[in-house]
Amino acid sequence: MSSHDAHSSDLERDARWAELCDILNVENAAAAMERVQELQLDSMQETAEVAARSLDTGEAFDLLQKIDRRVDQLRDRVASWEPTLNLLQVDQPQEVPTEIKRLLSRIEVLETQHEALVEAGLTSVDDALSMVDSMEKQLDELYEEKKAQERLEEQSSGLEDEDTFDQLQRLLAREERLQRELGVTSSEEVIEMVRGLASQLDELYANRDAEQSALPVASGDGSRALSEREEKLQRELGVSDPGDVVEMVNGLVRQLEELYEARERLTRVNLDDAESVIGMISSMEQQLEALYADREKMSQQGIESIDQAISMIESMESQLDTLYEEREHGFSDDRDAEEATRLAELEDKLDELAKEKINLEKRRDAMSSESATDLFQNELGVSDPQHVVQLVQSLEEQLKNVYAEQEEPGNAGRSDEQANTTADEGAPHVVDPSLLNRLSDLPHSELDRLDVGVLRLNDEGRVLYANDAASKTLPGIHGSRGESLVDRNFFFSLAPGTSNSLFRGRFKSGVENDDLNVRFPYTIVHPTEPSINLAVHLYRTGTGNNWVFLRRLNS
C-alpha cells in the first residue's frame, strides 16, 4: 500500500471518529468509547443481547445507528427542558422543584398580605388607594380652610379697638375651624414611618438582587438521570412533562407579577404592605372623626355650620343692642317693672360675654408662642363647639322672654364648592348600571329588596324615599325602618359627615346643572360609632329625581 493510500485511510478513519464524537457530543475517541459503553449499559434489552455475542461489521454498524437514534432522542429530551431551565434561571432539571417551591412560598406571603387588606374591608388594592385618596381630599379641604382662616386672623390681629361682639365672632369662628385640625400626627411619627418604609424597601431590593443570577447553559445527561429527574418532578409537583412544567411556571410568574404590581402601586404612595395601608386609613379615620364630631354636635342642635351659628349670634346681638339702647334712654312711665328686670338680665349677659372675650384674647395671645394645634388639644378639646351651641341657646332664651316669641335663625351655611359630577370609571360600582335606566319604572317593592342603601332626595336634600338597607348602611340610625327616614335632611340630619364639597358639593352642583352621575368612595365618620367605608353613587334621572346609592365596602 502506498503512503498516499495510507494517508487517505487515516483521514477517512479520523473523519468517522469525528462524526461519532459529534453524534455522541464528546471531545475525543476515548470519550466516545466510554460514552458507547455507558449507552450500551443503559440501552434497551436488544443492546445487551448484542453485546453478549461477537459482532461483525454490519451488526456493529446497525448497533451504532440504534445508538445514534437513542442519542438523538436523549438530546431532544434535554433540549425540551431548556425553556423551563431558562425561565427559572437554574442550571439543572433537578433544581426545578426547589425553585418552584420557593416561588410558591413567595406567592403565599403576598396572598397573606392581600387577605389582610380584605379583612380590613378593602377587597382590592384599588379600593385601598381610592379610600386613602378620598380621605386625603377631605383632609386637604379642611386644612385649606385652616390656612385661610389663619391668614385672616393675621390681618385682623392688630384691631384692638374692634367691637366686642365682632372680636368674639372672629375668635369663635377661628376656634371652630382650628378645632377641625385635631388628630394630625406628630413629626416624630412621620419620621418613624419613613424610616420603616426605607428599611422595608432596602430588604426588598436586597432579596431581588440575591435572586438574580446569570442564565446557565443546560447540558445533556444520560437517560437514567433524566428518568430520575422526571420521577422527582412527578413526586414533588405532580407533573413530569416539560411543557406542563413550563405552563405551571408561567402561571406562577403571572401571579407574582400581579402581586408585585399591586405592591408597587402601594409603595408609590408610601404604603409598603397591608399593615401600612390599614394604619394610614385608621389614622385618617381618627382625624376625620375629630374633625366632624363638632359638626355633628351643632347639627343635632339645628345648626348646620359655624357660619350659621355666627349669623344667629349676629341676629340676636342686633336685637340685644336695640334693647340695650332703649334702656340707656330710660323707660317710659307705662313700662312695667317686669320688662326692666328682663333688660337688666340682658345687661348681665353682656357682661358675661365681655368676660368670655377676655378669656379668648388670652388664648389668642398664647397662640403667638405655641402651636395652634397643640393649644386646642391641650386647652379646648372637643367640647368647646358645644359651648357655642349653649351660647346661642342662652341668647335665644333671653329674646324669647322679651318678645314672647321664638326668633328664627337665618340660613347662612357655607356654600359648597363646585365639584366633579361625572362618573369616575375607576370607582367601585354600587348597583348594576342597567338598573339606572329603569329607575322611573321600578316599584318601591323592588327597591326594598336590594341589599344596598337607596334614597331619593329632593333638590334640597330632603328624603322622599328610603329602603330599609339605607338605615343599616348609615351610622347612628341602625334598626330604623326606611320609612322613618322620610322628610329628614340627608346632609344635616341623617349624615352630617357628608356636608362638604366632596359629597354635598357634588350633589348641589349636579342638581344645579341638571347632570348628576358620579361614583366615588367615601368614609363617613361618627362621634360614637366606628367609621364606615362606603361606595357612593349619586344619580339624577331625566325626570329630575335625585338618587343616592350606598354600599358598605366591608360588607
CATH number at residue 496: 3.30.450.20
The confidence score (pLDDT) of residue 185 equals: 41
Among residues 553, 497, 504, the alpha carbon closest in space to that of 528 is found at: 497
Whether residues 163 and 35 share a domain: the answer is no
Q: Which residues, in sequence order, are CB contacts of 305 under 8 Å at separation 6+?
A: 295, 298, 412, 413, 414, 499
pTM of the predicted model as reported, rounded to 2 decimal places? 0.36
Does residue 106 share a domain with residue 37? no
Cell of 368: 403667638
Residue-level pLDDT at 220:
45
What per-residue confidence (pLDDT) applies to 404? 41
**290 is a domain residue:** no
Where the chain has pLDDT below 50, the residues are 159-162, 178-179, 181-187, 189-190, 193-194, 213-221, 331-335, 367-418
Of the residues 238, 254, 281, the one at which a domain ends:
281
Residue 421 lies in a domain: no
pLDDT at site 67: 81
Q: Distance between CA 31 and CA 35 in Å, rounded?
A: 6
Q: How far apart are CA 311 and CA 287, in angstroms?
A: 28
Span 85-119, pLDDT tens digits: 777 677 777 677 787 778 788 888 777 877 777 77
Q: Does 126 share its domain with 200?
A: yes
Number of domains in the chain: 4
What is residue 458's predicted lDDT score, i.e. its pLDDT? 96
Rg (CA), the chain: 41
Residues 99 and 241 in one domain: yes
In 49-112, at which residue ranges do the beta strands (DSSP E only) sit? none
- The closest alpha carbon to 169, from 480, 395, 404, belongs to 395
Q: How far apart, in whole angstroms, are the C-alpha atoms of residue 287 and residue 179?
A: 11
Residues 480-527 have pLDDT tens digits of 788 899 999 999 888 887 888 889 999 999 999 999 999 988 877 677
> Cell 375629630 belongs to which residue?
290
Asked whether residue 408 is assigned to any structural domain, the reply reads no
- Domain hosting 251: range is 94-131+189-212+223-281
Name the strand (E) or helix (H) holding 421. Answer: none
Write down the pLDDT at residue 532: 80
Does residue 410 lie in a domain region? Answer: no
